[in-house]
Chains A and B, each alone.
Chain A
Amino acid sequence: MKAFISTAIIGFNYLVAFYYGMINSVYTVLLSLALVVVLAHIQRIRYSAVREFRFSPETPPVSVLIPAYNESGVIVQAVTGALQLDYPSFELIVINDGSRDDTLEKLIDTFGLKRIDLAYRSLLKTKPVRGFYYSPERPNLLVIDKENGGKADALNCGINAAKSPYFASVDADSVLERDALIRLMAPISQSTLPVVACGGVVRVLNGTVVKDGIVQEIALPRDTLSMFQIVEYLRAFLFGRVGWDAVNGLLIVSGTFSLFSKAAVMAVGGYDTRNVTEDMELIVRLQRHYLTRRERYIIRFISDPICWSEAPESLKMLARQRRRWHLGLIQSIMKHRVMLFNPAFGRMGLFVAPYYLLFEVFGPVIEVFGYAAVLLALGLSLLSFEFFALYVLLAIFYGVFLSIIGVFLEEITYRRYPTWEHLFRLLTYALIENFGYRQLNSLWRFEATFLYIFGRRRWEVVEGKGRYLSRPR
């Protein structure tokens, strides 16, 4: 029996080592691609056609959808900022999703809205609409008041009311840079292939100074948790998404800031209200839809349109957010499991979806059990020190490398954090996030796996945001 346990532990250790070797190889490939793509993109921006599209009447109109639930503290800043977008033709639709606070009243008072009635058609089924608010002085702003049904439901309601061929979803606790929308539209304006979705970069708002809905000054926050998230977002967006975009393998664009073809989203039935990460599920469904029909399409990620979004500042709220993200990932992958290892879906079926299953869904489970097994094996003297060192190297040391590369990519490209203090703080946090913070994340994701298995698949609300958007500084 003892021999069996020893063999099992050692075997598992080898599996873990192999797993880390594989995932780090994938990351290395993504990183290499991202480096090439981002550097080329930066050079291309200098002569980009975006400038022409900014003033062209031919640029397609866009509906910007902002779903809001209890966003009283931030909604005015978010709407003020969105109304200042540098875009030739857009309508802004705020969907008050049955807020229990005074979100709606604040919008009505600030923007001088009056209640009107519209010829609204519920092509995508949603919770009942209670009313529409509009002002002839701001004809491109519409507020919809509806019963609470969740973010996906609110977005579906916004899509029903949207009059433009494209819509952008933006979170209420976020502010867009003025040229973010026109930059996000660039692939649509420049491509003859139908671009059905396009994602931009989300950056952490914490620490910045926002005035009238515009980020006036970029600074780093004082709190550790926000710093960890800044490093994490840089890594995820500047090399993760860019890398996947380079191989046309995107399965996620952030719902915080993304653009969609309305016709494409309507064709797949809108956002899925049962999924806790409606953004990822929609992208997977779009991929599946178009690949099944063998129609030509593209889903893009662009690294220069920027949306600043508030990140949770407490462990409790961060845990809720991360559990939800992972739960949504599992839900999306399991719902569309027909794509897994299926050659009919091309690279998406053979490579991208399996990557998400093997490394993103199973990753936290292997990582948490891996830590336990390695420590147990070391304690029982079943493991040589060399193997232990190899494990540490693969699990942590390479993570440090990737985090630093994320900061480096930011430094050589957009450099939004200009001072030496910014640089050293980012590098310090890139180093230390791998000792504790990353493991904590794995633990939350591990929890989410069990929530999924035991059927507790509900949306965990992140509260207490709005500090940076609501407070005059």
Chain B
Amino acid sequence: MASPIVIVLLVVIVLTVGAITGFFAVTVFRRINARRRYQRLDRERKVFREAVARVLAAPDLRLDEIRVSPREKIRWQALEDVLLDLIPKEEYRERVKEIFRQLGYIAYYENRLRRRSVIDRAAAIDRLGGMRSEASVEHLIRMLDSKNSELVSGAVRAITRIRSMEGLRAILERLPALRATHLIAQKLVEASLAKLGRDGAPVLLQHARGSEDPEMVALVLEVISNFEFPEALPFVIDRLRDGNPEVRAKAAKAFGKVDPRRAGPQAELLLPMLEDPVWYVRLQAAKTLGSMKHTPARAGVGRLLLDDKWQVRGTAATALVSIGEGVIDIFWQILKQNDRYANESICEEIGKTELIRRLIDNLAVPAAADHQKSREVLETMVSLRFTAQLEEAMASDPRPHVRSELARILEGPPAETPSERA
């Protein structure tokens, strides 16, 4: 009679050897099987590519040549791959959608939505979205009511790929509830809705107009700031005075994007926002004014160079450089204020842009209007130890007069190293 320890040993050995052998056998089998499968898949794709081209070239849809049953798994997949490759091309889209419907792909994947496995259902949702199946929108809307976040986020993406306005309305109606009950991230919804582009914008706008939910309005404003959409401008202007800072900031962003031509002359509407009590509203207003190159905003944006928040100071400096005109004057005035943080933001921005070149070039013409101001700006840069580019210019500039000016500027009072400054 073997001792218990021997029995345990034998059992463990047998199980382990069995598992290793089993895994090895499965691996080898999978490899052989996968190789055969992919070879056949490639062959079938080639055949279907030619057959589908003939079908699409014919005046009416005759599908006998490409009819295939879901039971013929490889052929089924090969044809699906070929058709999915064609669907992004606008000239084929409608016919390919019809082929998918007539060949039973849509019905097949809609059936899979009834499966228990979340992965199977999510994959089916993705396929229906890829096939742009408008007929499936109703099923997809039902998925929005699922308790599973994966299915919900998949359905949001699929509906936006299909570009169904009915589906979009369903998403928007459910959005507050979805955000409250699901781990469905704002970024995911924004990215999906943005993919709708202009097509979905009227529905989004209509929904936002009727909504009192600031999060919803902010989301819509964010989405419509991804493309031009002139009809939205009055709504965006209206929201610049919203009570919710998130909405105001998003409206300031959308203002410069939805209709740049009409918004340009009205850019002064953003000027009061430069004094908004909430920092990210000020930041966004400065950014938009900078991108619109709104010269009258120079003074207001210039004041933000002294803002408490470094993000606002940095954005203001960048915005002023974008505005360009008169910027040296603004920087010169602010640099006199002795606000170290603001001055450093300005110096960094000058160093990173072509402005440094302009300042150095101004030294070459003593009679130029900006000569003295440029010199003083450069002196301030030196006092804050922003000297690297000046030293380089002194070594490489071909103009002796400029070099001697730079030498005098660099001889200014000694300053600390970057780390000492920190």
Q: How far is the CA of A97 from the CA of B188 in the complex (A)?
A: 38
Residue of B whose beta carbon sits closest to that of A430: B20
- For residue A57, which residues in chain B have a CB less than 8 angstroms away from its CB? 194, 226
Instruction: Tell me which residues from 122 to 169 in chain A have a Cβ below 8 Å from any Cβ of chain B.
Output: 122, 126, 128-132, 134, 136, 139, 160
Q: Contact: B419 with A189, CB < 8 Å?
A: no
Q: A117-B387, A131-B388, A386-B6 are in contact. Are A52 and B192 (CB under 8 A)?
A: yes
A56 at the interface (CB under 8 A from B): yes
Q: A189-B185, A400-B20, A404-B24 are in contact. Are A390 and B5 (CB under 8 A)?
A: yes
- For residue B153, which residues in chain A have a CB less than 8 angstroms away from its CB? 49, 190
**Out of B195, B341, B422, which one reaches A52, CB within 8 Å?**
B195
Q: How far is the CA of A40 from the CA of B150 in the complex (A)?
A: 12
B344 at the interface (CB under 8 A from A): yes
- For residue B398, which residues in chain A have a CB less than 8 angstroms away from its CB? none
- In the assembled complex, the CB of B146 is this many whole angstroms from the nearest CB of chain A, namely 15
A267 at the interface (CB under 8 A from B): no
A121 at the interface (CB under 8 A from B): yes
B212 at the interface (CB under 8 A from A): no
- For residue B365, which residues in chain A have a CB less than 8 angstroms away from its CB? none
A118 at the interface (CB under 8 A from B): yes
- For residue B8, which residues in chain A have a CB less than 8 angstroms away from its CB? 390
Q: Which of A334-342, A405-413, A433-441, A452-460 contacts B (4 or more CB under 8 A)?
A: A405-413
Q: Contact: A192 with B352, CB < 8 Å?
A: no
Q: How far is the CA of A52 from the CA of B392 in the complex (A)?
A: 44
A119 at the interface (CB under 8 A from B): yes
- In the assembled complex, the CB of B410 is this many whole angstroms from the nearest CB of chain A, namely 13
Q: How far is the CA of A420 from the CA of B27 in the complex (A)?
A: 11
Residue of B whose beta carbon sits closest to that of A135: B352
- For residue B422, which residues in chain A have a CB less than 8 angstroms away from its CB? 120-122, 129, 160
Q: How far is the CA of A191 from the CA of B12 in the complex (A)?
A: 42
Q: How far is the CA of A126 from the CA of B418 in the complex (A)?
A: 12
Instruction: Tell me which residues from 332 to 348 in chain B have a Cβ below 8 Å from any Cβ of chain A.
Output: 341, 344-345, 347-348
Q: Contact: A116 with B389, CB < 8 Å?
A: yes
A397 at the interface (CB under 8 A from B): yes
**Out of A49, A56, A120, A131, which one reaches B194, CB within 8 Å?**
A56
B157 at the interface (CB under 8 A from A): yes
Q: How far is the CA of A193 from the CA of B184 in the complex (A)?
A: 10
Residue of A whose beta carbon sits closest to that of B3: A386
**Out of B19, B348, B354, B417, which one reaches A118, CB within 8 Å?**
B348
Q: How far is the CA of A120 from the CA of B419 in the complex (A)?
A: 8
- For residue A44, which residues in chain B have a CB less than 8 angstroms away from its CB? 119, 122, 150
B63 at the interface (CB under 8 A from A): no
Q: Contact: A58 with B190, CB < 8 Å?
A: yes
Q: Contact: A58 with B31, CB < 8 Å?
A: no
Instruction: Tell me which residues from 105 to 139 in chain B have a Cβ below 8 Å from any Cβ of chain A.
Output: 119, 122-123, 125-126
Chain A 385-411, CB within 8 Å of chain B: the 1/0 string?
011011001000110110011001001
A471 at the interface (CB under 8 A from B): no
- For residue A128, which residues in chain B have a CB less than 8 angstroms away from its CB? 417-420
Q: How far is the CA of A60 from the CA of B417 in the complex (A)?
A: 33
- For residue B31, which residues in chain A have a CB less than 8 angstroms away from its CB? 411, 420, 423
Q: A58-B187, A119-B344, A386-B6 are in contact. Are A408 and B388 (CB under 8 A)?
A: no
- For residue A43, which residues in chain B have a CB less than 8 angstroms away from its CB? 119, 123
Q: Contact: B351 with A56, CB < 8 Å?
A: no
Q: A47-B125, A47-B154 are in contact. Are A401 and B19 (CB under 8 A)?
A: yes
Residue of B whose beta carbon sits closest to that of A189: B187
- For residue A136, which residues in chain B have a CB less than 8 angstroms away from its CB? 352-354
Q: How far is the CA of A116 from the CA of B393 in the complex (A)?
A: 12
Q: Contact: B126 with A119, CB < 8 Å?
A: no
Q: Contact: A122 with B419, CB < 8 Å?
A: yes
Q: A58-B191, A189-B188 are in contact. Are A401 and B419 (CB under 8 A)?
A: no
Instruction: Tell me which residues from 36 to 57 in chain A have a Cβ below 8 Å from any Cβ of chain B.
Output: 40, 43-44, 46-47, 49, 52-53, 56-57
- In the assembled complex, the CB of B373 is this many whole angstroms from the nearest CB of chain A, namely 20
B16 at the interface (CB under 8 A from A): yes
Interface centre among A116, A134, A387, A393 (most CB of B within 10 A): A116
Q: A59-B191, A116-B388, A404-B23 are in contact. List 18 more A-B contacts (CB 8 A).
A: A44-B119, A46-B123, A47-B125, A56-B190, A56-B194, A58-B187, A118-B418, A122-B422, A139-B352, A189-B188, A190-B183, A190-B187, A192-B186, A386-B9, A390-B8, A404-B20, A411-B27, A412-B30
Considering the complex of A and B, which 8 residue pairs feature the smallest CB-CB distances, nearest first? A47-B126, A119-B344, A122-B422, A128-B419, A56-B191, A115-B388, A117-B386, A116-B351
A-side residues, CB < 8 A to B, are: 40, 43-44, 46-47, 49, 52-53, 56-60, 114-122, 126, 128-132, 134, 136, 139, 160, 189-193, 386-387, 389-390, 393, 397-398, 400-401, 404-405, 408, 411-412, 420, 423, 427
